[in-house]
Amino acid sequence: MARCDCIIPADHPSLPGHFPGQPVVPGVVLLSEVERCLRRQLAVPLRVTGIPNVKFIRPLLPATAFVVDLEVSKPGTVKFQCLLADAPLVSGSMTYETY
């Protein structure tokens, strides 16, 4: 299993419209962090080919540190969890191919 420490800064460009006055980190930004961590861990060029399942469990506030746990279950598939203080934020799986 691999682990990445992450934080979405309060000035991230996706936050002003998601939701004005009470911003939360959009799910697509969290999935982007999962992909970034996967690229870093595998250290090879890759392309995400799908997200067969994903469950958004609770929201994440900007500028809050969280962790991405990755488990390559078989070549081309990774299971992931985003955690805040060991409590799940998002879980799912992502498929990818290397090139």
Task: Report domain extents, the chain.
Answer: 2-9+24-98
* Residue-by-residue pLDDT tens, the chain, 99 positions: 899 999 999 999 999 888 888 899 999 999 999 999 999 999 999 999 999 999 999 999 999 999 999 999 889 999 999 999 999 999 999 999 999
DSSP for residue 7: -
Q: How far apart are the C-alpha atoms of 27 and 94, rounded to whole Å?
A: 14
Looking at residue 17, its pLDDT comes to 84
How many other CB atoms are found less than 10 A from the CB of residue 42? 15
The encoded tokens of residue 45 equal: 């060029």
Give bridge partners of residue 77 from the DSSP assignment.
74, 95
CATH code for the domain defined by 2-9+24-98? 3.10.129.10
